[in-house]
Structure 1
Amino acid sequence: MKKSGALVIGKKRRGENEVMTWKAPEEGWCKVNVDGACTTSCGVQVVACGGLLRNHQGTFLQGFMMKTCSTFECNNCTRHATNHARGLGDAQLWGCLLGLKTSWDFGVRKLVIETTDPTAAIVAMNHPGSLEESSKRPQERDWTMVSEIQQLLERSWEVRVTVVNRDFNVAAHALAQAALSCASGFQWLHSLPPHVLEVVLREASSGNKKVR
């Protein structure tokens, strides 16, 4: 666990008898779960992300989905794989950035953000030195997004960043996958798609929390 100012970065491990499901934050805190998705084929790459904000009671507060498309020169398998890896990395960063923005704009000042991508969590959010240290590999990340994330984290609030197994992040994963099939651009979600709402209700039930 690394702590820097109001920022805490950690990795959530499964307990011996722990149920693999989303866990509500402590009272007074909110949690935003984020995830990214990417498809790459025939020189076209689709990058998407999704996230949802819930309070300590498990109540859904706000959600989002985002999708962008780009083209690239596809002439060998290695480049295809590299582009896919970069696209997925960018998708995870977009999720973290938009998750932070969504939470701040909603008025949250004590936040847990959960992601399945340790690189996005540690590289982007281990401020401020990580940007300089990791800039040796700028081709792997969009450093404009990294800078925006770090600026958000410098605001007057408490943020805990946790890397979790996908079993703890099912709803966000479902939103990211759904975003792949949506129109390009950003969407606020004031209600959840039925299949994602079903996941949220099931997670709340498993954690003995109430969803309204």
Structure 2
Amino acid sequence: MKIYKEMMPVISRLFCNGAAINRPFRILARNWHREAIKVTWEKPEEGWTKLNYDGSCKGKTGKCSIGGIFRDHNADFLLGYAESIGQSNSTIAELAALLRGLEIVRENGWSDVWLEGDSKSLVDIIAGKREVKCTQVQMHVDRINLIVPEIKNCIITHIYREGNRAADKFALIGHQLKKPQVWRNIPPHQIMRIMKEDAQGKTFLRRR
């Protein structure tokens, strides 16, 4: 049984080769007097594996990298990955990060998996199995949709960046790498503080 879940609306747009893809989206007026949103990374249930993934794109250079982190129900580190993917854009980087994570899920035979990223648009597309006009984006989406049905139970959710810091750090590490790298059991030292805060349930306040 597959489960797809969406959370927390956010303003975002998809880009293909640097150009915005035209599609309907809501504009949410900023009101700094509203109550802030509490953002906390959550542990998966016992028996589940949680993947947080992220893509990083360096402004005008267009150099992109990806990263992701797998943790168990105790918030213990299982595996992390990072790599540079060359020149692209933020949308492709996010999709590539998720796709690489799913490939690792398949390689390790994990059957109950929670996928979580900070791009609401991409979560909507994957969860809703929607098509997009950009051929390159759709190609990545199609590959993702081929792997997801192989997973026994799969949840995909959106989280704000404040709750996706570990994956973001892995993606930033990817910029420094000349070849793809995978960490098993022991994470890089740059991730330790973030993992500890996530495990303790540290909450961040995000203004609407």
| Fold match (TM-score > 0.5) | yes
Counterpart position of 2:183: 189
**Post-superposition shift, 1:181?**
2.1
**Structure 1 unaligned spans of 5+:** 71-85, 208-212
CA distance in 2: counterparts of 1:38 and 1:172, whole angstroms: 14
Counterpart position of 1:76: none
Task: Look up the SS of the partner of 2:89 in the other structure.
Answer: helix
8 Å CA contact 1:62–1:102 kept in 2: the answer is no
Counterpart position of 1:79: none
**Post-superposition shift, 1:104?**
2.5
CA distance in 2: counterparts of 1:88 and 1:53, whole angstroms: 22
Q: How does 1:27-176 map to 2 (within 5 A)?
A: 27-41=46-60, 44-70=61-87, 87-127=89-129, 130-131=130-131, 134=132, 137-138=133-134, 141-176=136-171
Counterpart position of 2:201: 206
CA distance in 1: counterparts of 2:115 and 2:151, whole angstroms: 16
Cα separation, partners in 2 of 1:205 and 1:112, compared to 1, 3 Å? same
Counterpart position of 1:83: none
Superposition misfits of 4+ residues, deviation over 6 angstroms: none
TM-score with structure 1 setting the length: 0.75
**Structure 2 unaligned spans of 5+:** 10-34, 203-208
CA distance in 2: counterparts of 1:18 and 1:54, whole angstroms: 24
**Post-superposition shift, 1:19?**
5.7
Number of residues paired by the alignment?
176
TM-score with structure 2 setting the length: 0.76
Cα separation, partners in 2 of 1:181 and 1:156, compared to 1, 3 Å? closer
RMSD (Å), alpha carbons:
2.3
Question: What percent of counterpart residues are identical?
Answer: 22
CA distance in 1: counterparts of 2:45 and 2:82, whole angstroms: 26
Give the letter for the 1:189 counterpart.
Answer: W
Task: Look up the SS of the partner of 2:200 in the other structure.
Answer: helix
